[in-house]
Structure 1
Amino acid sequence: MSNRVTVQYEGKVAKITLNRPDKMNSMNQEMLEEMAEKMEEVSQSEAQIVVLSGEGRAFSAGGDINMMLENDDPNEFKKIMDTIEKAVKSFYSMPKITISKLNGATAGLGLSLALAADYVIAQKEAKIAMNFIGIGLIPDGGGHFFMEQRLGTHLAKQMIWEGKMMQAEEAAKLGLVDFATENVEEATQKYVGKLQHAPLRAMIQTKTIYHKENLKKLESYFAGEAEGQVAMRQTKDHQEGIKAFMEKRKPEFRGE
């Protein structure tokens, strides 16, 4: 185990940390597999409150670009998508009150994962984007579902299509994150303290009722994203998007 994802328990609280700071906590296959294991561990634990955060200056920059480039084998790619689904679904459905603490940049798959939490608290200046479109892809990790849940279908579509990078303050005004704060560490600690004196079993029961029903829809979205991502990876626009990303220039998409 590489400790790309760490877990620390403090009484009722479990702290999960994405721990690849040298790569802005971007997620490669090894890290995704470890995250799926750690999410399941925490889900089965006695903890009632879970805080997910990123080590260093970012929450997560999303999927590792090298993972995308290296996995041309459809079977390997399916394995990656299955692992993403397992990790995110476990985080979304765990019988705990969950908080995503966005200390810095949160993009792509990183944003999909963050939005699976019950509460999303972000540092005011943190940059946030659902930016798959920049390389000719669609959101995965349940991104379509979580964006729709928070914004409604119409605005979710437009934000996904635009792939706009915004500061957390703007994201909070839209309802994409719950709070944008001057000190995300302090704000999260205060909220955890408040939850520790709340009737957590009743809160978790309400969550379970809602999420049990929503899980059917989320699973349908995972299937659609996996199918769509396979198709988009074959497009000329995706190849151009990747090439432009590597060359640090604006892509020239042709709708092909």
Structure 2
Amino acid sequence: MGSYESTSVTETVTVTYSERTATVELNRPEALNAMNEPMLRELVNALKEITTNEDIHVVILKGKGKAFSSGGDIKMMLSSNDEADFNSLMDCISELVTTLYFMPKLTICGIHGAAAGLGLSMALATDYIIAEPESKIAMNFIGIGLVPDGGGHFFLERRLGEVRAKELIWEGKVMRAQEAFEKELIHEVASETLDQAIETKLAKWLNSPIQAMIKTKKILGEKNRPLLLKMLELEKNAQMKMRRTSDHQEGIQAFVEKRKPNFTGN
């Protein structure tokens, strides 16, 4: 994507600056970029730093390796049994989503491989989503007896309407990019390589009156701010309750054992 000017690397996130663009790459390829607490915190810090950089107008969000992001890290879910730790984790997720959604930049998400659960919620917080045809897209919290978090309810309801959002959440279906596009969940299926499709969109935006575009984003974002913050709080409270259910424990166990869960409604 042109000649890069600088790159900053942490343990799980790589940020590359090129002219008016910052590319944020999730960097846990060995875990399909599943988001653990260090990655979540490093993402927040990276996005906050970009937010304050007035030279950056467009942010590209990508994943390294075979997937964009398979969602929240299962090991993290198993280890965060303490209520204080859980609240801190959920607050970090909320900070990540709000920083990304409200940042005064235009944002593009490039999806390849899996974009599932929290990974999909994060993608939906961006302004424009491009996916490879064979990518797998799912809001699949239901498979482990949880509700969407990371603003999933907010973003799905805004894009799909209440009825279709509930259907998608309850079904937890894994979709290919074309189906997600037809549902208006994503904006574009890459007809060339993902990087080429991102480059085409980026070039168009960089040759547009981008300050006016950002101002429109800020106006609509401020209108939606109270609702998103309310949704995040409701998700946090609901997730705490769902984590105590037998169905969640069964869902996690079935996932680890790679079998179909036997849910009982408890």
* CA displacement at 1:213 relative to structure 2: 1.0
Q: Which residue of 2 aligns with 1:145?
A: 154
Q: Which residue of 1 aligns with 2:209?
A: 199
Where do residues 173-184 of structure 1 align in structure 2 (5 Å cutoff)?
173-182=182-191, 183-184=193-194
Amino acid at match of 2:151: G
Where do residues 1-80 of structure 1 align in structure 2 (5 Å cutoff)?
2-46=10-54, 47-80=56-89
How many residues are treated as equivalent by the alignment?
256
- SS in structure 2 opposite 1:203? helix
* CA displacement at 1:170 relative to structure 2: 0.6
Amino acid at match of 1:29: E
TM-score by length of 1: 0.98
Q: Which residue of 2 aligns with 1:101?
A: 110
TM-score by length of 2: 0.95
* CA displacement at 1:215 relative to structure 2: 1.1
Offset from partner CA, 1:217-255 (integer Å, 9 cap, x none): 000000000000000000010011011111111001111
| Partner Cα distance (1:43, 1:147) in 2 | 25
| Partner Cα distance (2:13, 2:97) in 1 | 14
Does 2:264 match 1:254?
yes
| Partner Cα distance (1:235, 1:162) in 2 | 19
- SS in structure 2 opposite 1:59? coil
Amino acid at match of 2:173: K
Amino acid at match of 1:254: T
Q: Residue 128 of structure 1: which of 111, 133, 137 is its match?
A: 137
* CA displacement at 1:12 relative to structure 2: 0.7
Amino acid at match of 2:161: G
Structure 2's unaligned 5+ residue stretches are 1-8
- SS in structure 2 opposite 1:176? coil
Q: Which residue of 1 aligns with 2:223?
A: 213
Offset from partner CA, 1:166-200 (integer Å, 9 cap, x none): 10111001100000123221111011011110000
* CA displacement at 1:2 relative to structure 2: 3.9
| Partner Cα distance (1:104, 1:40) in 2 | 27
- SS in structure 1 opposite 2:68? strand
* CA displacement at 1:5 relative to structure 2: 1.1
For the aligned residue pairs, the C-alpha RMSD in angstroms reads 0.9
* CA displacement at 1:3 relative to structure 2: 2.8
| Partner Cα distance (2:225, 2:15) in 1 | 25
| Partner Cα distance (1:32, 1:229) in 2 | 18
Structure 1's unaligned 5+ residue stretches are none
Amino acid at match of 1:36: V
Query: Greater CA deviation, 178-187 or 232-241?
Result: 178-187
Q: Which residue of 1 aligns with 2:6?
A: none
| Partner Cα distance (2:10, 2:199) in 1 | 28
Does 2:247 match 1:227?
no
Q: Which residue of 1 aligns with 2:198?
A: 188
Amino acid at match of 1:101: G
Identity across aligned pairs (percent)? 49
| Partner Cα distance (1:3, 1:234) in 2 | 32
- SS in structure 2 opposite 1:204? helix
* CA displacement at 1:43 relative to structure 2: 1.1
Amino acid at match of 1:6: T
| Partner Cα distance (1:188, 1:232) in 2 | 38
Q: Which residue of 2 aligns with 1:90?
A: 99
